[in-house]
Structure 1
């Protein structure tokens, strides 16, 4: 199961009822956080979520509404007893950006480990998930993320016997990668069939529509895209600032064959996003406008 939460859904600046956009994904007892704007730790607490077991923090880009909450989050994690290293991934300049923000959080009881994204696509892994970072089109280097919780194949007794795997480790190998019995190591590939379809979430914000988004949103169980503007008259503004319209996000969801679309990163000039929701639903009916704290538990397909 993959738990997905949008603690905040706002873009540019927070409103009294809307924190800045971020996304928390939890699986196998660990989590991945995408972006950390002002107030993120408050939004997380309001949503009933913790980052004490955060395995990876991903930045889409370095505009303030996506990174300015980092110092407070790091300090709180330290005060709550974290000692394990924290991995952070983001575009070129990552360590310099974090160092600048850490002027007010210079001492932490845990190390920071950096993964700087430089290629058009980069592969990561965290919290049991396989993650693809892909470059998009904003006013500075910016990445979207495709996160997949894989699912192993079914146990195949015939295959296990043919590979000479003793029954004593059959159960173990359905849960773990390897097992040793009487001095011999066995792997789960020796007892399992082909991998089954996992759970995929694609998250992308602050960009114009580009083919890479559709590519990495293919057949996503949940697609989370920015809906900066809903009013059709805002299209020139969206193009100028390299953001997306509700209808543009809906077209991507339709073309990618996604199961559901969540819009996020609403402009502060958009106090009631649902006003323009029907425009998106005409293109992709499974479009919703989440409020802060929206959560879903995604299960493996049957």
Structure 2
């Protein structure tokens, strides 16, 4: 199972009851943090969420409200005794900016590995057992979203293997998707595996105008977390100008992409009560929820 927690749901500046937009994905004893604005580590502490288990930090883009919390978080992780490397993955051109932030950290007892992604085409990679696809977005600077899939192997069927007289030493090879040869016969994985298992898919998109890449990549997500900078449709022109989205645009993406559930996040500090505008989304996509700090969901496979 995968645990998903919104660490913060604010945009631009943190508020006393709303830290800046970030998200924690926990799976198999490790976790991935998406974005790290000011106050991220405070919200992690409030939620009693482990910082030492963070294996990878995915950055959507290098505006301050998405990266300014990195030095404090990395120092805290170091003070907790971490020695193994930590990965930071971000859009093209981000390494220079992130390295500049790391200067104020001084010494860290572990290696920080920074990788850059193309921001004009999707990129697939794997972290903590999840297949991750970056989503090119449309913002003022290079920006990407992320879609994560837990691809589970089909159950191995020992009874099928025994009927085919396949030695036990070959079972793992077949379960890993590779052919084997037994008595001059080729045995393929489908001959000994059960039905395909359900995929768990979580997608996270923020700081963008709607673009086709989003619909294509987040399609059929179990959970789609999307920015809703402004709730009221009358804010459309403002959203276009600032290259963000309104609630109804996020809801239309959720509807067209056939996702199961939509969480809205990254709210403008001027929108004190996002709940007041939820009908703008729910009239289009009923399974919409207003995100709040430390909102959590466990998705079972």
**When the two structures are superposed, what TM-score results if normalisation uses the length of structure 1?**
0.91
Deviation at 1:176, TM superposition (A): 7.8
Q: Secondary structure at the match of 1:197?
A: coil
1:38 equivalent in structure 2: 38
2:113 equivalent in structure 1: 113
1:9 equivalent in structure 2: 9
Q: Which sits farther off after the overlay, 148-157 or 28-37? A: 148-157
Cα separation, 1, equivalents of 2:32 and 2:279: 31
The runs of 5 or more residues in structure 1 that have no matched partner are: 179-185
2:198 equivalent in structure 1: 197
2:264 equivalent in structure 1: 263
Runs of 4+ with >3 A deviation? 161-170, 172-178, 186-191
- Cα deviation per residue 1:54-77 (whole Å; 9 max; x = unaligned)? 121100000000000000000000
Cα separation, 1, equivalents of 2:294 and 2:174: 35
2:242 equivalent in structure 1: 241
Deviation at 1:7, TM superposition (A): 1.1
Deviation at 1:233, TM superposition (A): 1.6
**When the two structures are superposed, what TM-score results if normalisation uses the length of structure 2?**
0.91
Deviation at 1:217, TM superposition (A): 1.2
Summarize the Cα distance change of 1:85–1:189 in structure 2 as closer, same or farther, 3 Å threshold: farther
Is the Cα contact below 8 Å between 1:135 and 1:144 reproduced in 2?
A: yes
- Cα deviation per residue 1:97-129 (whole Å; 9 max; x = unaligned)? 111101210210001112211251111211110
Is the Cα contact below 8 Å between 2:61 and 2:94 reproduced in 1?
A: no
Deviation at 1:191, TM superposition (A): 4.2
Cα separation, 2, equivalents of 1:9 and 1:61: 16
Deviation at 1:155, TM superposition (A): 2.2
Question: What is the RMSD computed on CA atoms of the aligned residues?
Answer: 2.2
Q: Secondary structure at the match of 1:151?
A: coil
1:69 is the counterpart of 2:88 = no
Deviation at 1:174, TM superposition (A): 10
Deviation at 1:153, TM superposition (A): 0.7
Cα separation, 1, equivalents of 2:24 and 2:46: 13
Cα separation, 1, equivalents of 2:31 and 2:190: 26
Q: Secondary structure at the match of 1:160?
A: helix
Summarize the Cα distance change of 1:56–1:188 in structure 2 as closer, same or farther, 3 Å threshold: farther
Is the Cα contact below 8 Å between 1:4 and 1:24 reproduced in 2?
A: yes
- Equivalent pairs counted in the alignment come to 292
Summarize the Cα distance change of 1:93–1:197 in structure 2 as closer, same or farther, 3 Å threshold: same
Deviation at 1:164, TM superposition (A): 4.6
- Cα deviation per residue 1:161-200 (whole Å; 9 max; x = unaligned)? 3665435886x7899899xxxxxxx998774345422100
Cα separation, 1, equivalents of 2:241 and 2:78: 40
Is the Cα contact below 8 Å between 1:26 and 1:127 reproduced in 2?
A: no
Cα separation, 2, equivalents of 1:44 and 1:198: 28
Q: Secondary structure at the match of 1:225?
A: strand
- Cα deviation per residue 1:8-52 (whole Å; 9 max; x = unaligned)? 000000011100000000111111110000000001111221121
Is the Cα contact below 8 Å between 1:204 and 1:226 reproduced in 2?
A: yes
The runs of 5 or more residues in structure 2 that have no matched partner are: 179-186
